[in-house]
């Protein structure tokens, strides 16, 4: 799966979480940090997006929030989160070979 497809899945999940919580869907781009850049989007929303996107992509993720780098304690952009998921998908594919 390419980065653009993963970014698209993340954006779709973000908008889905916004809509489910009664908010208007945000106009998104890959350089945005959902936690910090989007109004009322917090780490709990990040967990909800992580669950939704992991289900959509058919992968298990070893972290709670795709938008938080736990080691650095910082929020990630959509592009950074997509790269994080791409690395996980690639590692999973290599293990299952």
pLDDT score, position 57: 93
Reported as a single tens digit per residue, the pLDDT across 43-53 is: 999 999 999 99
Quick check: 74 and 44 in contact, CB under 8 A?
A: no
User: Rounded to an integer, what distance in angstroms lies between the CA atom of residue 26 and that of residue 11?
Assistant: 9
Reported as a single tens digit per residue, the pLDDT across 13-59 is: 999 999 999 999 999 999 999 999 999 999 999 999 999 999 999 99
Q: How confident is the model at residue 92 (pLDDT cuts 50, 70, 90)?
A: confident
Q: Which domain holds residue 8?
A: 3-95
User: Rounded to an integer, what distance in angstroms lies between the CA atom of residue 25 and that of residue 76?
Assistant: 19
Domain count, the chain: 1
């Amino acid at each position: 799966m390419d980065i653009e497809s993963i970014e698209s899945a993340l954006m779709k999940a973000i908008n889905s979480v916004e809509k489910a919580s009664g908010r208007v869907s945000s106009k998104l781009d890959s350089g945005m940090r959902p936690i910090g850049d989007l109004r009322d989007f917090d780490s709990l929303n990040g967990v909800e997006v992580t669950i939704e996107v992991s289900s959509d992509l058919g992968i298990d993720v070893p972290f709670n929030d795709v938008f938080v780098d736990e080691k650095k304690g910082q929020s990630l952009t959509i592009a950074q989160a997509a790269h994080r998921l791409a690395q996980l998908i690639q590692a999973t594919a290599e293990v299952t070979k």
